[in-house]
Structure 1
Amino acid sequence: MLKLENVTKSFDGKTIINNLSLEVKDNSILSIVGPSGAGKTTLLRCIAGLERVDSGSFILNNQSFDPFDESVKERVVGVVFQDFNLFPHLSVMENIALAPKMVLKQDKATIEKNVNNLLSQLGLTNLKNQYPFELSGGQKQRVAIARALAMQPQILCYDEPTSALDPNLRDTVAELILDLKKTGITQIVITHDPSFAKKIADQLLEVKPLNN
């Protein structure tokens, strides 16, 4: 279980997150929904260790956890970014394999086995030698998810997973997130779409812009 206790984050004197506490149960999906400027992405970036909070604490499995600690954060929290952030000069296989090789120091055989399993799980096997420019938005998203999962995180976060896709792919994304839940991973989804949020969520957090 992930707990946030009294988390506060400000930028240039403007409070974005104010004394927020929440719990995310293991193997559950938390949807964080709200308009632009409400602090959704800032909250995700704090959980993922991409921004340091001003105050407050994080507890993972009943132990204090610092998301900003480089030695552990990538193994705890994976992120699927809104624009996917794939390396354009690397193939699908190479994009997914890079972090396990560079960060986890896995051997070639282990990486190849794990990557092939992820490719199969996400329906990407026939695309493994393709490059990002050859992929559709939905395919890029699945590659980004596979790349995050290759680090074997305990928690997988998504920043607006439907915003860069055609509207008719929204249900496909929902099905993918719900399928991943069956593997036992905890997921946190940032979205401005209330109906999508409710469709996938075990827990819903609505945020609003603060009056500073």
Structure 2
Amino acid sequence: MLTLKDISKQFDNRLILDNINLTVKDGEILCIVGPSGAGKTTLLRSISGLERVTSGKFLLDGQAFDPYENRENDSVIGVVFQDFQLFPNLTVMENITLAPRLVLKKTNEEAEQEAREKMAQLNLAGKESLFPYQLSGGQKQRVAIVRALAMNPKILCYDEPTSALDPDLRQEVESIIVGLKQQGMTQIVVTHDMTFAENIADDIFQVSPRNE
């Protein structure tokens, strides 16, 4: 369980997050919603350790946890970015196995075997040797999810997972996220799409536009 207590974030003199308190329960999906500029992505980046908060604290399973300082953060909190951030010069398999080999020190065989298993679950079998430019938007999304899952995170975060996709692919993303929940994965989803949030969320946290 991840708990945020009085989390605030300032950029210069601009207050983006103001004393945020929330709890993400194990195995559940929390959706963070709100209009553009309200601080949703800043909150997600703070949770995932990409931004250092100005004040407040995080607790992971009741113990103090600093996402920004944690050197093994990729194996605690994984992130699927809005623009996927796949390496264009690497194949699908290389994109997925790079971090497990470098960070988790897995052998090529171990990393590739686990990658194939996860790829099969997300209907990516046979795409191992393709490059990102050869994939559709939906396929890139699934590769980004598999890449994050390959680090065996406790919590998986998504930044606007449907914004770069055609509307008819939203159902596919919903199915993937709900399917991962059924496997016990704790997930945090930032979205401006309230219908999408209502379809997948166990809990919804509204970020107020007054934080702009």
Same fold (TM over 0.5): yes
> Residue in 2 aligned with 1:79?
79
Q: Do structure 1's residue 131 and structure 2's residue 131 form an aligned pair?
A: yes
> Residue in 1 aligned with 2:166?
166
Structure 2 counterparts to residues 51-200 of structure 1, below 5 A: 51-200=51-200
Deviation of 1:69 (Å): 2.1
Write out per-residue CA displacement over residues 179-204 of structure 1, whole angstroms, 9 at most, x where no aligned residue.
Answer: 01111110000000011011000000
Distance 1:120 1:97 in 2: 15
> Residue in 2 aligned with 1:29?
29
Amino acid at match of 2:11: F
Distance 2:76 2:9 in 1: 21
For the 8 Å contact 1:95–1:147, the answer to whether it is kept is yes
Distance 1:184 1:69 in 2: 26
Partner SS, residue 158 of structure 1: strand
Partner SS, residue 199 of structure 2: helix
Partner SS, residue 157 of structure 1: strand
Distance 1:2 1:25 in 2: 7
Deviation of 1:16 (Å): 0.7
Partner SS, residue 123 of structure 2: coil
Distance 2:109 2:54 in 1: 42
For the 8 Å contact 1:16–1:209, the answer to whether it is kept is no
Partner SS, residue 147 of structure 2: helix
Distance 2:63 2:38 in 1: 29
Deviation of 1:122 (Å): 1.0
Deviation of 1:59 (Å): 0.3
Deviation of 1:100 (Å): 0.3
* Count of residue pairs the alignment pairs up: 212
Amino acid at match of 1:201: A
Distance 1:211 1:181 in 2: 30
For the 8 Å contact 1:39–1:207, the answer to whether it is kept is yes
Distance 1:207 1:5 in 2: 15
Q: TM-score, normalised by structure 1?
A: 0.98
Deviation of 1:107 (Å): 1.4
Q: Do structure 1's residue 16 and structure 2's residue 20 form an aligned pair?
A: no
Question: Which structure 2 segments of 5+ residues have no match?
Answer: none
Deviation of 1:70 (Å): 4.2
Deviation of 1:209 (Å): 1.6
Partner SS, residue 125 of structure 1: coil
Distance 1:148 1:53 in 2: 23
Distance 1:72 1:150 in 2: 14
Partner SS, residue 210 of structure 1: helix
Deviation of 1:72 (Å): 2.1
